[in-house]
Amino acid sequence: MSNRFEGRVAIVTGAGNGLGRAHALGLAARGVKVMVNDLGGARDGRDASTSPAEAVVQEIRAAGGEAMANGANVARFEEVQAMIAAAQNAWGRVDILVNNAGILRDATFARLSLDDFWAVMDVHVRGTVNCTKAVWDLMREQKYGRIVLTSSASGIYGNFGQSSYGTAKAAMVGLMNVLHMEGDKYDIRVNVLAPTAATRMTAGLIPEHAMKLMAPESVTPGVLFLVGDDAPSKVILGAGCGVFTRNFVYETEGIYLPESERTPEVIAARFAEISNAERLTALESATHQTLRFVDKATAAAKTAYDQ
């Protein structure tokens, strides 16, 4: 992997504090020109201000880097388009997009208002789609792009009281899977980061002793890996406390049931076989799963015929 990224241009959303700030500073330290996007304001995203983004820009410039602040609301496509245009006008291209902006509205599903549910979806899902859509054609034309979507263990595994956040973060995996395929021939590599870090969003949720281990800067090397020239694609990278992992989605071998046995009772009786994890398949696509099922059914039918 390249150690530096001179000449590259990056946009990092939600970069005024926490993880986004660490990512912006990390990219700038490698020679990347960085558009630092942040609405500013309180933990819930209200009281918008570009001052946090401007403070990060000043840090970058003081260290000899090049950066601009931007206060676009990622949930509003026209503002995102203007942000991308500003980056293009200043630097001629956009090579890297780190979708990091997010908010929390934690509550059990019984107590969660629909307004709060959709507010979280707007920032995480609509915001990520807006930013990615705004750079997609540009990256296709220049035949180069590196995109990071920020997920979470809350979406991959679940977390009590985070139905809205978990839903939004699980969506990142589905979006990555498809964009990886559609961007492949244009050298657009799309990956998911599943970080854990001490930020404004986790304030009050994480024990104090754990917070000290969870510096956002411990996650950023994973982002730098995912946006380098030699980056992989379609990777879910876990990162936090200096620990890095890779998450996979597998399918068990499964069993074929002849038509006479396709009942819920048989499935229940053989559920342990269905769940057997000794033979796992990492699927390349939804079509891969369909063809695997067809092959398994065809083989079973041939065996029955031969007998």
> Does 42 score more than 50 pLDDT?
no
226-236 pLDDT tens trace: 999 999 999 99
119 confidence band (pLDDT: 50, 70, 90): very high
43 confidence band (pLDDT: 50, 70, 90): very low
The partner residues of 260 in beta bridges, in order of sequence, read none
Residue-level length of the chain: 307
Residue 30 CA, chain-centre distance (Å), reads 22
What is the mean predicted confidence (pLDDT) over 39-46? 57
What is the mean predicted confidence (pLDDT) over 35-46? 71
Residue 80 and residue 171: Cα distance in Å, rounded?
A: 20
pLDDT at 229: 96
247-277 pLDDT tens trace: 999 999 999 999 999 999 999 999 999 999 9
Q: Are the C-beta atoms of 18 and 195 separated by less than 8 Å?
A: no
212 confidence band (pLDDT: 50, 70, 90): confident
pLDDT at 207: 67
Burial label for 147, CB within 10 Å (0-12, 13-18, 19+), is buried
- Computed over every residue of the chain, the mean pLDDT equals 92
78-117 pLDDT tens trace: 999 999 999 999 999 999 999 999 999 999 999 999 999 9
205 confidence band (pLDDT: 50, 70, 90): low
> Does 46 score more than 70 pLDDT?
no
What is the mean predicted confidence (pLDDT) over 165-192? 98
> Does 307 score more than 80 pLDDT?
no
The one-letter code for the residue type at 163 is S
Residue 157 and residue 152: Cα distance in Å, rounded?
A: 8
pLDDT at 41: 60
> Does 144 score more than 70 pLDDT?
yes
Question: Which position has the higher pLDDT, 33 or 4?
Answer: 33
What is the mean predicted confidence (pLDDT) over 2-14? 86
32 confidence band (pLDDT: 50, 70, 90): very high
Distance in angstroms between the alpha carbons of the first and the last residue of the chain: 55
170 confidence band (pLDDT: 50, 70, 90): very high
Q: Are the C-beta atoms of 34 and 21 separated by less than 8 Å?
A: no
Residue 232, phi then psi, degrees to nearest 5? -80, -170
Instruction: Tell me how crowded residue 279 is: count the other CB atoms within 10 A of its CB.
Output: 10
302 confidence band (pLDDT: 50, 70, 90): confident
What is the mean predicted confidence (pLDDT) over 60-81? 98
Q: Which two three-digit tokens encode residue 138?
A: 């540009």
Residue with tokens 């936090």: 240
185 Cβ contact partners less than 8 Å away, ≥ 6 residues apart: none
> Does 44 score more than 50 pLDDT?
no
197 confidence band (pLDDT: 50, 70, 90): confident
pLDDT at 38: 97
Residue 47 and residue 166: Cα distance in Å, rounded?
A: 25
Annotated catalytic sites, by residue? 165
**CB burial string 231-258: b at 16+ within 10 A, e below:** bebbbbbbbbeeeeeeeeeeeeeeeeee
Share of the chain above pLDDT 70, in %: 90
